[in-house]
Amino acid sequence: MTAELATPDPASAAPPVTARRSASSGGGLLRYLIVRFLLIIPTIFILVTLVFVLMRSTGDPITAAQGGKLTAAELAKRIHDAGYDRPILVQYFEYIGQVFTGNFGNTITDNRPVTEVLYTYGGATLELAFYALIVAFIVGIPLGMVAAYFRDNAPDAFLRIFAILCYATPVFFAGLLLKLIFAVWLHVLPVAGRASTGAELQMQVLPGKTGIYLIDAFQTGNPDVIGDVLSHAVLPGIALGLLTAGVFLRLVRTNLIGTLGTDYVDAARSRGVNEFRLVRKHAYRPALIPIITVIGLQIALLLGGAVLTETTFEWKGLGFQLAQYLASRDFVAVQGIVALLAVIVAVTNFIVDVIAALIDPRVRY
Amino acid sequence: MSRLSTPSRPRRSLASRIPLFDQVRSSIGLQRGMLVAGLVITLAFVLVAILAPVIAPFGFSQLRSDGVAFGAQQPPSSSHLLGTTVGGYDVFSRVLWGAQTALLTIIVSVLLSIFIGIALGLISGYLGGWLDRVLVVVCDAVYAFPSLLLAIVMSIVISGGRSDLTGGILAASISITVVFIPQYFRVIRAETVRIKNEAYVESAKVIGTRAPRIILRHVLRNATRSLPLLLTLNSSEALLTLAGLGFLGFGIEPSAAAEWGYDLNKALSDVTSGIWWTALFPGLAIVLAVLGITLVGESLNDLADPRLRGRRAAVDSGAPSADNGAVPHGAGASGAPLIDSNEEARS
Amino acid sequence: MRSASTRTVRGIALLAGTAAAALVLAGCSGGGGSSTGSAITIGTTDKVTVLDPAGSYDNGSFAVMNQVFPFLMNTPYGSPDVEPDIAEKAEFTSPTEYTVTLKPGLKFANGHDLTSSDVKFSFDRQLAIADPNGPSSLLYNLDSVAAPDDTTVVFTLKTENDQVFPQILSSPAGPIVDEEVFAADKVTSDKEIVDGKAFAGQYEITSYDFNNLIAYKAYSGYKGVLGAAKTDVVNVKYYADASNLKLDIQEGNIDVAFRSLSATDISDLSTNDKVKVVNGPGGEIRYIVFNFDTQPYGAKTPEADAAKALAVRKAVADVVDRQEIATQVYKDTYTPLYSYVPQGLTGATESLKPLYGDGNGGADVEKAKADLTAAGVTVPVKLSLQYNTDHYGPGSSDEYALIKDQLDSSGLFTVDLQSTEYVQYAKDRVADAYPAYQLGWFPDYSDADNYLTPFFLNPTGKESFLQSHYQNPAVDSLVLEQGVTTDPAARTALIEKIQDTVAGDLPTIPLLQGAQVAVTGTTVTGTSDTLDASFKFRYAALAKG
């Protein structure tokens, strides 16, 4: 596999993300990137195998759907007909064989191609992740800079507590409070869902429908539809975004404080550059790589689908759907979605590494 | 890329061996405030958990006292300080009992993760070779798995679907363990690999001491900077996963134990009907417990990181600039990327 | 291709550029629903799996099929009994031949003719596909289907004079589909069905967004027993979370909420002036099953004793207070059930009421104590009780916690209460793992037979759905007899007799019957017309304004 992974390096005392990117003595950027890219394949393979084994030990989809209706004999017959009583290895190789030919199969419970499921719900999740990131960036990064600037003073204390509260509050609890305030008491925002009925119907008939409502809304060219879609995005975006914003705030603060103490910032300070400019200009750039690393992973996580947020706000995306398929033991669907999640996480990590390498030439590979 | 090894520390005095004593003493101002606040909240949480049988007015599954049913959704009153739930349980008692379930989950998950993570990290780092590479790739893969969904599957696999206390706690703990093992693994493995080639290990080998023991001792001593933070993250994520499972309907049933996430889930329809007391208190309990643990963790992380120790302390220590070059890889990110995993169970 | 991708890129750019500002502004534009004209929007937490009748056997999918596919036999509004739907007449022309004559000139919404050939096709493919998730097992008595001419269908049955068969034609196995759109040998995808407009019920689907939004338009070509739809356009929104459904009906964003609001939501909404809560009889029942082998004193326990076992079952029936459960846990959205056939169906009795408890439906601990002592049972009896958390609604845990509490506080029982996730539960219960356990039932068709045959017909070697090792040859022969008794009055008498006999044996203890509850805006009418004992919610009955 790769020499990089086994190379001793004190810096990799840090957790996964950074450690994975640890510097080494040889190789060169290109070789490093190729190896990193190829590692995506075993990662996915391991995950799919794991999911396969776990899912098969939890029962079959036919009992899940029909156990309340059919006699035991009829159930057994149907399970046999569907082949779920065959040895697990036979089923496993059959599935892996299919996947290698690019066929992810049809979902068991609702008979839809897995690729279509991924496409449909992936779009919804992508859109929610996009809104959440906007909130996270707008709230988290500037506030992190402010906290670093005022460090160890009252505003810093306040912001740090705010950040901790952001990720200490379960999103379903926050979501409930947001819904009560904005939808029920103030009547300014919708309760849940991605758009109201009328808007959804208009978007349904679009020829170039993407499933990403914001794009579809702009395609209709109807300002009401755009407003409707955006108003539905506000609460889920805030609920999920604040969670991420808390992470960003802390991250930016920590890393800025780290670089604010460095020699060259000190040098700038002694030249009389004012403190705010220091934060904005001089300290920001060196702090960027760890920030990008973590942001990358956050994005990967958001794209994986936020089950709790999606459930709270009726946002039918990948995470929500995955939980549904899990409950109905739809092996095929679960395996397909998890494989996609693995690809997303792996590819995002890869991209983050490339960007980090481009930003900081000091990183040798 | 700096390759400075962590300087070995002088022997510590007896008093300073009390956990957290050093940290509280060395902290100043805001940081001390945060650390102390965190410690107080966490301690209160632990005390409530231990003393729940004594201080709770009723049992967690008690529906009537003296033959009279409590009634469902009764507002707060003198007999039921925080009212009763939709199932007719006493909210105050269940909030207190819930701390016990949460604490158990935290303990089980932390113990499991630490032992397995450290063992794997030591083996992998010390032996090296193909085993090491395979473990690294497997850990990367597992790390990418959404922990809440893993928890759902685990709750079915582990307990055979029975929603009792042991099943529920194990489901939450093991799924969190699976996600955190890679993190302990990383820390321990890297330290092991580094120390393996140190001169004193070589010399120990020469005089016949068994190397693994030495390594374990040195690794643990050097890894103490990252471990406390990992521990608190591990704890708060275990708690939130338990709550998330409860919220999604895979939690522990009310007759088996009190569980905040479950109560919150049951209270959803209450809130929209103007019954606020059934959701508010379990929700606040979760927030407070996680807040306390996170405050402790973040404070410890800051104190362990010279650059974040606060200006005065940082100047005093005089050490920081040495590892500036390592910011992208080492210390600078040490706290931060950990937080990301923290979010999986919450979103 | 190129233009599409350019559009997407431009879309993303536009999206990124404006979204931030728009998010802030959006608050002002509000989220009001934009239903046009008198269109009705219905919200539900049901889940649809597959539109094809051969590929799904669940309430959510069947609810959609009921709107868009015609049936040979159907239940008219307000009645539990079936009549010809798109047929002119249907009758036994010989003991094993059931002949249906279709109305002439029927068409599907896509213009294809609906003839006897489509009918034959619909049933043949059910049997040929026999999908693991399909309802083909309901056609257990169907031997073959013939279509001698365009309007005549002849069903050849395996047994004579099957009185249930007309009901089966209205069940999930009964929707008639278009042979020019559906495949004969595999489940047809939702997209092909919607694109092919293979509908001939009261409505056709105009827009189908899976488990999110279905738009219906009235189909004028439907000539069946239910009549034309009162409302031209109906949209149905699918919710994942009942509290969102509740908030939307409360805020007036939707017109009707049907299945399934929590008891708390319903009781809160019933005090709200802006909505109406409409109740109808429900077909859903809840009951406790005893495993005759493993229950206390059961046949395979060390201290096996049939008389003591019966005494234990009777004591449970004496002690449970159904009204307390219905009121405290379900806020009276469920009602006490005192027999095996629920109220509202032809032949329903209240057989358990005089036999157990205080004789008036309430609990009687003394009577239970006397029963147990008379049989020589030592109290307290250890009873292991199982229930399921994720299949029979969120109330289950509170329901069973209360039952445990009632049994425990009588002093006669020590209950060990356990819950298990559904798939495991379904496997365990037929493997004799549970001495006593919770089950619920939702009927396939609204006939008393559907509450008797699946449970109590246990001929040797072929156990019923319950598989609880209960056997009573007298009950077996009565159940078989009612199925072939052609005289309605005689059949009703038999059904009543079965309930009385089974009530003496107590293989299960019926607890509750669920009501159908719909919550509507104040201007919506017609809801009570369709909340009937057919247990089919027809959108066509609803009107607004």
Q: How high is the pLDDT of residue B299? A: 85
pLDDT in tens, C339-395: 999 998 999 999 999 999 999 999 999 999 999 999 999 989 999 999 988 888 878
Question: Tell me: the pLDDT tens digits for C491-513?
Answer: 999 999 999 999 999 999 999 99
**Cβ–Cβ contact B64 with C under 8 A:** yes
Contact by Cβ (8 Å): B65, B80: no
pLDDT number for residue B345: 55
pLDDT score recorded for residue B307: 65
Q: Does A16 touch chain B (CB under 8 A)?
A: yes
- Predicted confidence band at C64 (pLDDT cuts at 50, 70, 90)? very high
Please return the burial class of A9, using the count of CB atoms within 10 Å of its CB with bins 0-12, 13-18 and 19+: buried
d(CA A240, CA A236): 6
- Check residue C241 and give its pLDDT: 85
Of C101, C103, C114, C95, the C-alpha closest to C156 is: C95
Residue labelled with tokens 């908030």: C247
The answer to which of A5-14, B204-213, C222-231, C358-367 has the lowest mean pLDDT is: A5-14
* Rounded Cα distance, C153 and C97, in Å: 10
Neighbours of C129 (CB within 10 A): 20
Give the pLDDT of residue A14: 35
Alpha-carbon distance C360 to nearest alpha carbon in chain A (angstroms): 31
**Is A73 touching C (CB cutoff 8 A)?**
yes
CB contacts < 8 Å between A and B, how many?
A: 296
Chain C residues whose beta carbon lies within 8 Å of the beta carbon of residue A109: 49, 133
For chain A, give the percent of residues with pLDDT over 70.
86
| CB within 8 Å of chain A, chain C residues 224-253 | 235, 237, 239-241, 244, 247-248, 250-251, 253
Chain C residues in contact with B162 by the CB 8 A cut-off are: 418-421, 424
Model confidence at C188: pLDDT above 70: yes
Burial B247-259 (b: 16+ CB within 10 A, else e): bbbbbbbbbbbbb
* pLDDT tens digit sequence for C30-39: 333 333 348 9
Q: Which residue among A157, A184, A263 places its CB closest to the CB of B321?
A: A263
**Whole-angstrom distance, CA of residue A138 vs CA of residue A148:** 16
* Amino acid (1-letter code) at residue B295: L
Intervals of chain B under pLDDT 70: 1-23, 25-28, 144, 159-163, 211-212, 223-225, 305-347
- C515 CA to chain B: closest CA distance, Å? 19
**Nearest CA among B309, B336, B322, B136 for reference residue B233:** B336
C255 or A327, which is more confident?
C255
Distance separating alpha carbons of residues A147 and A168, to the nearest angstrom = 19
> Which residue in A21, A46, A56, A363 has the most chain B C-beta atoms within 10 A of its own C-beta, making it the best mutation to test that interface?
A46
Contact present, C123 and C141 (Cβ < 8 Å): no
The two beta strands, C413-420 and C381-388, are parallel
Taking residue C307's Cβ as centre, other Cβ atoms within 10 Å add up to 12
Q: Determine the residue among C261, C264, C418 to mutate to test chain B binding: the one whose Cβ has the most chain B Cβ atoms within 10 Å.
A: C264
- CB contact (8 A) between residue A210 and residue C14: no
pLDDT score, position C22: 42
Asked whether the beta carbons of C355 and C503 are under 8 A apart, the reply is yes
Q: Is A166 on the interface with B (CB under 8 A)?
A: no
- CA–CA separation, A322 and B136 (whole Å): 27
Q: Is the pLDDT of residue A19 over 70?
A: no
Q: What is the pLDDT of residue C9?
A: 43
**A210 φ, ψ (degrees, to nearest 5):** -105, -20
Task: Quote the tokens at residue C521.
Answer: 């805006």
> Is ipTM over 0.95?
no
A8 interface with B at CB cutoff 8 Å:
yes
Residue A121 Cα distances to A52, A197, A315, A320, A340, angstroms: 21, 18, 9, 9, 12
Residue A365 scores a pLDDT above 50: no
Shortest alpha-carbon distance between residue B347 and chain C (Å): 17
Residues in chain B: 347
Is the pLDDT score of A133 beyond 60?
yes
B145-159 burial, b at 16+ Cβ within 10 Å, e below that, comes to bbbbbbbbbbbbbbb
Q: Which chains touch A (3 or more CB pairs under 8 A)?
A: B, C
pLDDT value, residue B192? 81
Kindly give the residue spans of alpha helices, DSSP state H, lying in chain B.
21-26, 29-55, 91-127, 129-143, 147-159, 165-196, 199-206, 211-223, 227-247, 260-271, 277-304, 311-317, 331-334, 336-344
Nearest to residue C188, comparing CAs of A110, A172, A118, B106?
A110
> Which H/E stretch holds residue C520?
strand C516-521
C433 touches chain A (CB under 8 A): no
Pair B296, A177: CB distance under 8 Å? no
Q: Which residue has the higher pLDDT, A13 or C303?
A: C303
Spell out the residues 6+ positions from residue A243 whose beta carbon is closer than 8 angstroms to its own: A132, A166, A167, A171, B343, B346, B347
Q: What pLDDT digit, counting tens, does each position of B14-45 carry?
A: 555 566 666 676 666 777 888 899 999 999 99
From the centroid of its chain, how far is CA C413?
A: 33
Structure tokens at A246: 């808390």
- Per-residue pLDDT reduced to its tens digit, C263-278: 889 999 999 999 999 9
Which residue in the block uniquely carries the two structure tokens 């015609």?
C70
Distance (Å, whole) CA A96 – CA B284: 46
Output the pLDDT for position B211.
Answer: 66
Answer whether C86's CB lies under 8 Å from C114's CB: yes
In chain C, whose CA is at the least distance from the CA of A200? C213
Report the alpha-carbon distance of residue B169 to residue B251 in Å, rounded: 9
Which residue in the set A10, A43, A169 is minimally distant from B287, CB to CB?
A: A169
Better-scored residue on pLDDT, A312 or C490: C490
Q: Give the pLDDT band (50/70/90) at residue A176.
A: confident
Q: Which of B191, B224, B190 is nearest to B22 (CA)?
A: B224
How is residue A364 written in tokens?
């040798």
pTM here is 0.85
Residue from C212, C286, C391, C450 to probe the interface with A (highest A Cβ count within 10 Å): C212
**Which residue would you say has higher pLDDT here, B15 or C452?**
C452
* Cα C497 to chain centroid, rounded: 25
Contact criterion met (CB below 8 Å) for C185 and C134: no
Range scoring the smallest mean pLDDT among A175-184, C15-24, C432-441: C15-24
Average pLDDT over residues C296-310: 94
Contact check, Cβ <8 Å, C397/B164: no
Residues in A closer than 8 angstroms to C23, CB to CB, are 131, 134-135, 230, 233-234, 237
CB neighbourhood size of C155 (10 A): 26
Tokens encoding B330 = 């080492």
Measure CA of the first residue to CA of the last residue in chain B; give whole Å. Answer: 36
Straight-line distance from the first to the last Cα atom of chain C, in angstroms, rounded to the nearest whole number? 47
* C241 in Cβ contact with C223 (< 8 Å): no
Chains that touch C (3 or more CB pairs under 8 A): A, B
Q: Around C291, how many Cα atoms within 13 Å sit in the side-chain half-sphere?
A: 21
Distance, CA of A10 to CA of A19 (rounded, Å) = 9
CA atoms of C329 and C336, how far apart (whole Å)? 12
| CA C490/CA C497 separation, integer angstroms | 11
CB C444 within 8 A of CB C138: yes
Residues of B in contact with C404 (CB under 8 A): 255
The beta strand positions in C118-183, using DSSP E, are: 142-149, 152-157
C-alpha B89/C-alpha B70 separation (Å) is: 7
Q: Which residue of C has its CA nearest to B155?
A: C421
Confidence at residue B118, expressed as pLDDT on a 0 to 100 scale:
86
In angstroms, the CA C378 to CA C317 distance is: 17
Q: Closest Cα of chain A to C375: distance in Å?
A: 33
Compute the distance between CA of residue B340 and CA of residue A76 in angstroms, rounded to an integer. 44
- Exposed e or buried b for every residue in B318-339, given b needs 16+ CB within 10 A? eebeebbbbbbbbbbbbbbbbb
Residue A238 confidence class, pLDDT cut points 50, 70, 90: very high
Tokens at C260, concatenated:
């399934």
Residues with Cβ within 8 Å of residue A327, at least 6 apart in sequence: A64, B152, C390
Contacts of B58 (CB under 8 A, 6+ apart): B65, B89, B90, B93
Q: What is the pLDDT of residues C377-388, one digit of tens each?
A: 998 999 999 998
Cβ within 8 Å, pair B162-C419? yes
Residues in chain A: 365
Residue C418 phi, psi dihedral angles, 5° rounding: -135, 150
Phi/psi region, residue C419 (left: phi>0; alpha: psi -120 to 50; beta: rest), is beta
Q: Does A180 touch chain B (CB under 8 A)?
A: yes
What pLDDT does B13 receive?
Answer: 59
Residues in chain B with CB shorter than 8 Å from the CB of C423 are 156, 161
* Closest-CA distance of chain C to residue A59, Å: 6
Distance CA C234, CA B277 (A): 38
Q: Does B86 touch chain C (CB under 8 A)?
A: yes
pLDDT of residue C391: 85
Beta bridge partners of C417: C385
Distance of CA C448 to the CA centre of its chain: 14
Contact, C204 vs C219, CB < 8 A?
A: yes
